[in-house]
Amino acid sequence: MTDAPMTAQAASTATAGDILSRQLTAQAGAFLRALPLAVGEVGARPGSAAAVPAAGTADLLRAVRRIGGLLHSFGAVFEQTWAQESRTELRWLLNLLALEPGYVRRSARLLGALDSLSGSDPEGTGMLAGHAGAPKARALLDRQLTLARTRAHSTVLQELRSARLHALADRMTLLVGEAPLLEAAGGRASAVLLPQAAAAFTAMSASAQQLPLQRAATPYGGDGLRRLGAVPTARGATDADTALAADDAPWSRLRILVKRARYALEVCGRPSSELDELDAVLGRHQEAADAAVTAATAARTPRITPATAYVLGVVHADQRLEVEAARYAFGRRWPDLPLGLDGWLEIPPAEGWGHSPAPRTA
Amino acid sequence: MTDAPMTAQAASTATAGDILSRQLTAQAGAFLRALPLAVGEVGARPGSAAAVPAAGTADLLRAVRRIGGLLHSFGAVFEQTWAQESRTELRWLLNLLALEPGYVRRSARLLGALDSLSGSDPEGTGMLAGHAGAPKARALLDRQLTLARTRAHSTVLQELRSARLHALADRMTLLVGEAPLLEAAGGRASAVLLPQAAAAFTAMSASAQQLPLQRAATPYGGDGLRRLGAVPTARGATDADTALAADDAPWSRLRILVKRARYALEVCGRPSSELDELDAVLGRHQEAADAAVTAATAARTPRITPATAYVLGVVHADQRLEVEAARYAFGRRWPDLPLGLDGWLEIPPAEGWGHSPAPRTA
């Protein structure tokens, strides 16, 4: 996933600034190429629904995530105010662009779950097959999610014409070849970048170690339904929404840290398929948790029938089960990761720096 | 669990009839001692609820199960009509006695699940914590199960005074020392009993092999919620109740076969802790499946609120998750069992027959 691979020879003498500038130039270029495509794509689909963002939007999201991650993890070598402002603007665009595809994916997930739960396929009859509430609950979820998506679409359309986006595009244009680096960037790549990538890795590890990973590696522990984490007493509330949010929060936070570590390793020329997989697992966790909230919220719609509410209760539990399954998958994979960066970044620069490394087998 | 252990010396020359008579005498004696206690216990608790049957009832159930199992697995050496009638009457008493404790356990399971799901304990906040429907659903389940239990209690009280029970007690009295054996029972124990115990074991294995054990050994496959077995097309219906019943049926059947194999091995002096555990796992499977049906049925009560129905949907899914967890536990344990009786029953009689064997380590 290294967008600007270098030969080992060139890399061995590169400064941190060389590496980062090259990466930023490549990603800012990708941003500027993808932006008009993405704007066109959003404008072209007033009502259509695609679970996967179209190519331009996907490329734009990809560049935005990597530039933001780079500016975070290697922030020490950039002009502080500029880096902070850039990250804020990139996060704004990320949230904006992710909004509509997020609703489309949530809709696909929830309606897919409902169809699976109420399906009467011989290979997969669900526990709600033939239930009178299933079509009603489906229509309710579909209506509510379509409305949310339409609203998101309008917001995105509006913001894509905003001065704010133009300013961000200008910022990216200036970034091509001209990242505002501090003097520290003149140091050798290995001396400057490795400690910062290691810090991203350490932050991720520390966050993961605080999770109940042992518990999460035991299947059917009921964590998704029955044993949510304690709500900090300061908040006082003991209702399920607060408990669920508090229970999911550290996993959401970990997801961000995994992404940061992943992008930091990419910058160092060490893409990790293990981190890609953990990122994907935590992405599933996030989407299932969000879908569960949507089901619970839909069940509070006034004047629905008991049958509809019953089906939504099953769907809610089903999505919390998916949350538990994702935690289980994470809890099983995590111990395979080395506890530190040893073996990932400790290779002498002349041998492995900058280029895609041989696949790790540890 | 062999009630009439024999010395190896005595056993080595015993006929099949000797072994079976001894077992039946012991169990029929246990039956006759426990019966008045059980009758007294049922009469003494018009309203009280015990999740575990009282001592007399438990002893009675234990004797009834073993006599019935013995008459089934070693039926070839008994007078046919007598054995068949005895089994019918024992099964009647078994179902009768199991009725009330069954409702008590189901109530404890469902209310416990609801309390766990709606609990706000820091160690185990549930996804229904603080939900308005939780107390209503609890009250509804409690009311319906109490009513069912009270009805069952009246039935049991009435039947325990019936001529049918007196006739069964007389039958058991005659059994002490005087089992109506056929000539075949005169053969050596190893030659007559082992093939019949092996048949019980084979029936169990064949039944288990037809289950989707591979699938059941994969956690979070969604079998409990989404991938119920195909309903035989002859039945036509594709509603969830039929699908759930069809999905659970082979597991219920297997539970009976495991019990039979377990009791047959006990008769042969080879109690198996593996089979005890499988029996317990399948018992959990059965109770969770029954509890799920009760939750689904309660959700169809007219005029309940949507909040109540929603909570019952979560409880239903929770119990189906327990069904899946039990299948997972079974799927993990089953491969540990030898595929045949080799190693269990092939020990020469003089060494191991009749007495408790050394613990198997295979």
Per-residue pLDDT of chain A (362 residues; tens, 9 = 90+): 444 444 444 556 789 999 999 999 999 999 999 999 998 888 887 655 555 667 888 999 999 999 999 999 999 999 999 999 999 999 999 999 999 989 999 999 999 999 999 987 767 789 999 899 999 999 999 999 999 999 999 999 999 999 999 999 999 999 987 888 998 889 998 889 999 999 999 999 999 999 988 888 889 988 888 888 766 654 555 688 888 998 999 999 999 999 999 999 999 888 889 999 999 999 999 999 999 999 999 999 999 999 999 999 999 999 999 999 999 999 999 877 765 555 555 444 433 344 433 333 33
Q: E strands within B47-180?
A: none
CA B95 to centroid of chain Cα atoms:
11
Beta carbons of B225 and B321 less than 8 angstroms apart: yes
Name the strand (E) or helix (H) holding B198: helix B189-209
- Residue B217, classed as helix, strand or coil, is coil
Contact: A130, B220; criterion CB under 8 Å:
no
Contact: A226, B126; criterion CB under 8 Å:
yes
Residues in chain B: 362
Name every chain A residue with its beta carbon within 8 A of the beta carbon of B228. Answer: 124-127, 129
φ, ψ of residue B304 to 5 degrees: the values are: -80, 160
Name every chain A residue with its beta carbon within 8 A of the beta carbon of B321. Answer: 220, 222, 225, 317, 321
User: What percent of chain A is helix, strand and coil (3-state, nearest 5)?
Assistant: 70, 0, 30
**Candidates A224, A239, A316; nearest CB to B129:** A239
Name every chain B residue with its beta carbon within 8 A of the beta carbon of A229. Answer: 125
Give the Cα separation of A326 and A220 in Å (integer).
Answer: 12
The percentage of residues in chain B with a pLDDT greater than 90, rounded to a whole number, is 62
Residue B261 structure tokens: 């194999």
Global pTM reads 0.88
**Candidates A240, A315, A325; nearest CB to B130:** A240
| Residues 6 or more apart whose Cβ sits within 8 Å of residue A359 | A273
Give the Cα separation of A78 and A136 in Å (integer).
Answer: 54
Burial of B241 (0-12, 13-18, 19+ CB in 10 A): middle
Q: Chain A window 209-248: which residues touch B at a Cβ cutoff of 8 Å? A: 219-220, 222, 224-231, 237-240, 243-244, 247
CA A15 to centroid of chain Cα atoms:
30
**Candidates A230, A299, A311; nearest CB to B125:** A230
Residue A18 structure tokens: 């060389």
- Work out the minimum CA distance from A108 to partner chain B, whole angstroms: 16
CB neighbours of residue B285 within 10 Å? 23
**ipTM of this complex prediction, to 2 decimal places:** 0.86
Contact: A127, B244; criterion CB under 8 Å:
yes
Reference B32, options B68, B73, B60, B2; nearest CA is B60
Contact: B226, A124; criterion CB under 8 Å:
yes
Whether the CB of A116 is below 8 Å from some CB of chain B: the reply is yes
Residue B61 structure tokens: 């159930």
Residue A62 structure tokens: 């990809």
| Distance in angstroms between the alpha carbons of the first and the last residue of chain B | 20
Beta carbons of A30 and A1 less than 8 angstroms apart: no
Contact: B240, A127; criterion CB under 8 Å:
yes
Contact: B313, A311; criterion CB under 8 Å:
yes
Name every chain B residue with its beta carbon within 8 A of the beta carbon of A305. Answer: 306
Contact: B328, A219; criterion CB under 8 Å:
yes
Give the Cα separation of B178 and B168 in Å (integer).
Answer: 15
Contact: B310, A312; criterion CB under 8 Å:
yes
For residue range B210-253, list pLDDT tens digits in order.
998 888 888 998 888 888 876 665 455 568 888 899 899 999 99
Nearest chain B residue to A129 by CA distance is B240
Reference B71, options B24, B1, B17, B11; nearest CA is B24
CB neighbours of residue B129 within 10 Å? 23
CA distances from A319 to A59, B199, B222, B256, B294 (A): 29, 44, 11, 34, 22
Q: Which of A314, A315, A330, A332 to mutate to test the interface with B (most CBs of B within 10 A)?
A: A314
Instruction: Say how many CB pairs under 8 Å bridge A and B.
Output: 189
The torsion angle over the Cα atoms of residues B50, B56, B62 and B65, rounded to 10 degrees, is -90
Beta carbons of A20 and A181 less than 8 angstroms apart: yes
- Work out the minimum CA distance from A117 to partner chain B, whole angstroms: 5
